[in-house]
Amino acid sequence: MDRQQFPRAGVPSGGVDKQSPISGEPAQLSGTANSAQLSGAGDLASFEALAEDLASEIEAELRLQNRAEARELRDAEAGRIGLADLLRAAIGARLTVTARDGDVFEIVPGEVAQNWLLGKGRERALLVPLAAIARIRGPLGRVGEVPRGLAPKLSIGTPLRAFQARRARVRILHEIGVCSGHLCRVGADWIEVRDEQGLAILTIAGIRRVEVTT
C-alpha cells in the first residue's frame, strides 16, 4: 500500500516555505535600506550646516580683511596729506587757530598756498604762515582733489605785494614784536615797513601773522 504524502504543516505542497527565514530576509533588507536612507538624509543636512558655517566664517574673515585693507589705505593716504591740503578742504569753515607763540584767533580760510593761509578773521583779513601754526580746531573735512593752478605754489610774498599795492595799513606780529604801518617794499625774504619811527626791515621768516587793518 502506497503511503500517502502529506504536506508538512506550514509548507504548501510543491513550493518552498515563503515564511521561512529565507522569505523573511527581504523584509530585513528593506528595513536596512530605510535606515540607510535616513542616515544619508542626516549626513546631507549635517554637510549643509557645515557648509553654511564655513561660508559664514569666510564672509567674516573677508570683512575683517577688507577693513584692514581700508585702514591701511587710509593710513597710506594720510601719509601723503599735508597741512595745506587739510586747510584747503576747510575753505569757508570757521577755524580756531593757536599760533606757536600762544596767540589764539579765529579765521575762515579763503586762499591756501603751500606755505601760507589767507582768510577772514573776526574783524579783518589775516595772512598766516603755516609754519607759525601750532594747533587747529574746527571742521577739517575730507581732502578733495589736488588743487590745480598757480595759487598753491605762490610764496607768501605774493599776498604781501598785494597789500603793498593797495597801500593797506597792516599790523605785523613778528617774532621780535609788533610793527604797524605800511608796506613799502617786499623782497625775496624781507619786507620794508614804514611805521611811526620810520623805515624798518623785517625778515619774512620771522612773521607770525599779518593783520590788514584798513
Confidence of residue 212 (pLDDT cuts 50, 70, 90): very high
Alpha-carbon distance 33 to 25, whole Å? Answer: 13
* 98-141: pLDDT as tens digits: 999 999 999 999 999 999 999 999 989 999 999 999 999 999 86
- The DSSP bridge partners found for residue 136 are 97
pLDDT score, position 5? 52
Contact 178, 172 (CB under 8 A): yes
Alpha-carbon distance 163 to 165, whole Å? Answer: 6
In this structure, the strands spanning 177-186 and 169-174 are: antiparallel
* 20-59: pLDDT as tens digits: 444 455 545 455 555 555 555 666 677 777 778 778 888 8
Per the confidence metrics, is the pTM higher than 0.85?
no
pLDDT score, position 18? 47
Mean pLDDT confidence for 161-187: 97
pLDDT score, position 55? 80
Class of 83-141+149-212 in CATH: mainly beta
- Domain assignments of the chain as residue spans, ordered by start: 46-80, 83-141+149-212
* 58-102: pLDDT as tens digits: 888 788 877 876 676 665 566 678 899 999 999 999 999 999 999
